[in-house]
Structure 1
Amino acid sequence: MPAESNLDVIARLRGVIHDCLKDYISDDEPLAILDFPDIRNCGDSAIWLGEMAYLQNRYGKRPAYVSRIDDFSPEDLERVMPTGPIFIHGGGNFGDIWGAHQDFRERVLERFPERQVIQFPQSIHYKSKERVEQSARAIGRHKNFVLLVRDEESREFAQKHFDCQVRLCPDMAFCIGALQPAASEFPVLAMLRADLEKAGDADLSAYPDIPMEDWTTESARRVRVSKAFGAASALVALKPAEIRLRKLDAAAHNRFRRGITQIARGRAIVTDRLHVHICSLLLGRPHAVLDNSYGKVRRFMAAFSGGTDLSYKAASLDDGIAWARHQASVGAAA
């Protein structure tokens, strides 16, 4: 079977996403999205912007209510939209590695037992049997929870342990669409995790010419949001919910731009981050893929995005660097 181009992958996965979500969104009913990713990880901002792009491009709508974990108000949500589905932001935090997100998810299920709650696509990983059982109880009590997952292993786990509807769905970042990259600065960039999901301690001492980075942090200066409002804000009064959404969108756009600028500096990339893989596909950049601590990246590629010549499943860091160097030299010659 011939390899897909990155544009073919993007188009195919956007179609699969719509097939998964069309049953839960209507033109005339409001919706909420909770757990905005107010963190430095640019991949989470890519997911958020994909969620926004999907709603805008398919339905011409924006969520009626959004929140982060720490400023969520059930009372405000009910006041703004007494009816309609509640979506929870997608990503890789379903389980007990990132416990705050799972705790929040289960509080939402407990607080809104009569509302449909849809989890945007997630990867699932638990270390504790007791924590699995706690999640299963929260989901079982709710009865109207829809869990979208990003890989077959997560689907099998959820179908075994949770009493809810489970569907396999690609990552929402593909709804951003293809991106135009800037010119690269050096042949190979290693983008490797430095957090709880890293698989080991990468050693690039034998490759002094290759920068090793993780997502960079934003400056201490707060994100300017004035441009996000546009000239129209001077003419019309914005509702508080719309003001909040525009502020959060501005932060997500700022982080995403920073991340894309960062990874586009490499003509070829080596990574163990799922969203460096996804963003490299959006950019059309060759990249060698390692894995995170529990197999999330390879699981996603097996389900959805592994059929392109732009990505290479590296057997080791050395293998990935050798492949990336070859791709960078081919690109330079072209």
Structure 2
Amino acid sequence: MSPPATLAVLDAAYRTHVGAGTRYALLDFPDHANVGDSAIWLGECALLEAITGRRPVYVSTWHDLDIDALATAEAEVVFLHGGGNLGDIWPHHQRFRETVLARVRDRPVVQLPQSIHFRDPGEAARFVALADAHPDFTLYVRDATSLAFAADRLAAPVRLVPDSAIALGAQPRGPAEAPLLMLLRSDDERRDHGAPPPAGARVVDWLDDAPDLPAGDDIAARDAQARHRVARGLALIAQGAVLVTDRLHGAILADLLALPHVVLDNDYGKIAAYRATWPAATPNAAAATMAEAVAAVARLAAG
């Protein structure tokens, strides 16, 4: 699991912006099945509620922001959900972020910990211009690579902190059902690992919601949806005695479960960058290819 000192860094960053009783908004709820984003959301909510003693006064997804309702809610600080979508791989989230920066200018806007990756320099320049034009914007990043990118370009404050999902804390894990589980990306961030998974491995991804997902779009319903998704993800990866994953939150949740794991990378090095900045406490290894991952699994299984 993540060391207490790491969580203290994250907690101190949040306390820079809110205290007891502060009214705040939390925007860009992850209205999709990817478990990692829901884990981040629940970590953000846990920290903010612990510090302020209250729930957010306004929540939105990327597609249902109501500027008038946000103003009526009288949030003193506007937080943008963290994750790995600051850049041009997931353009709807980036455009939403830029809309908030352009339209919410009468109060602080805080981007919670993100990884940054732009393929188009013009898109990067667009974001930098909007960020620096905002009168009170703070950017948190979760790896040293993103820090170097932002610090070289932005005049706005940029700070390095870990991913907010670590605020979920240690998670219980029962007996494994399979010797090896592989949680492998099937989306736009996947990369070629040089070979298919080995025969006998249980191979999954976590991009499909269960049919019993709670319905609704108010704050309580959004919390229930996030909890449901994270519970599904924890149960999924806990099936394995050892996990191989190229999903960052597969690795982070494995650490919280004290589950030995091997990390492959996504297409732009996000996981290696994060792990180089915030090492895991649980037995783990990094691999560049599927063959290296299989060899690392054997070492971890041998203890």
Residues 115 and 142, structure 2, Cα contact 8 Å, conserved in 1: yes
Cα displacement (A) at 1:212: 1.6
Local SS of the residue matching 2:218 = helix
Q: How does 1:36-55 map to 2 (within 5 A)?
A: 36-55=29-48
Cα displacement (A) at 1:320: 1.3
Please state if 1:175 is matched with 2:167: yes
Name 1:75's counterpart in structure 2: 68
- List alignment gaps of at least 5 residues for structure 2: none
Name 2:284's counterpart in structure 1: 311
Q: How does 1:171-320 map to 2 (within 5 A)?
A: 171-200=163-192, 203-204=195-196, 207-223=198-214, 244-306=218-280, 308=281, 310-320=283-293
Cα displacement (A) at 1:221: 5.0
Residues 182 and 261, structure 1, Cα contact 8 Å, conserved in 2: no
Distance 1:250 1:10 in 2: 28
Distance 2:230 2:188 in 1: 21
Distance 1:219 1:175 in 2: 25
Distance 2:121 2:44 in 1: 31
Residues 188 and 328, structure 1, Cα contact 8 Å, conserved in 2: no
Distance 2:132 2:161 in 1: 22
What fraction of aligned residue pairs are identical, expressed as a percent?
Answer: 37
Name 1:22's counterpart in structure 2: 15
TM normalised by structure 1 equals 0.87
Local SS of the residue matching 2:209 = coil
Once superposed, what is the RMSD of the aligned Cα atoms? 1.7
Residues 10 and 174, structure 1, Cα contact 8 Å, conserved in 2: no
Task: Select which of 146, 163, 166 maps to 2:158.
Answer: 166
Which residue identity does 1:289 align to in structure 2? V
- List alignment gaps of at least 5 residues for structure 1: 1-5, 226-242
Residues 178 and 202, structure 2, Cα contact 8 Å, conserved in 1: no
Cα displacement (A) at 1:326: 3.7
Single out whichever of 116-125 and 158-167 deviates more from structure 2: 158-167
Which residue identity does 1:324 align to in structure 2? V
Cα displacement (A) at 1:275: 0.2
Residues 22 and 52, structure 2, Cα contact 8 Å, conserved in 1: no
Distance 1:222 1:180 in 2: 22
Name 2:26's counterpart in structure 1: 33
Local SS of the residue matching 2:69 = helix
Residues 122 and 148, structure 1, Cα contact 8 Å, conserved in 2: yes
Residues 216 and 259, structure 1, Cα contact 8 Å, conserved in 2: no
Cα displacement (A) at 1:59: 3.3
Bigger Rg over Cα: 1
Which residue identity does 2:10 align to in structure 1? I
Residues 143 and 163, structure 1, Cα contact 8 Å, conserved in 2: no
Cα displacement (A) at 1:202: 6.0
TM normalised by structure 2 equals 0.95
Local SS of the residue matching 1:136 = helix
Local SS of the residue matching 2:132 = helix
Q: Relative to 1, partners in 2 of residues 1:10 and 1:249: Cα closer, same or farther, differing over 3 Å?
A: farther
Distance 2:126 2:212 in 1: 40
Cα displacement (A) at 1:139: 1.0
Please state if 1:148 is matched with 2:144: no
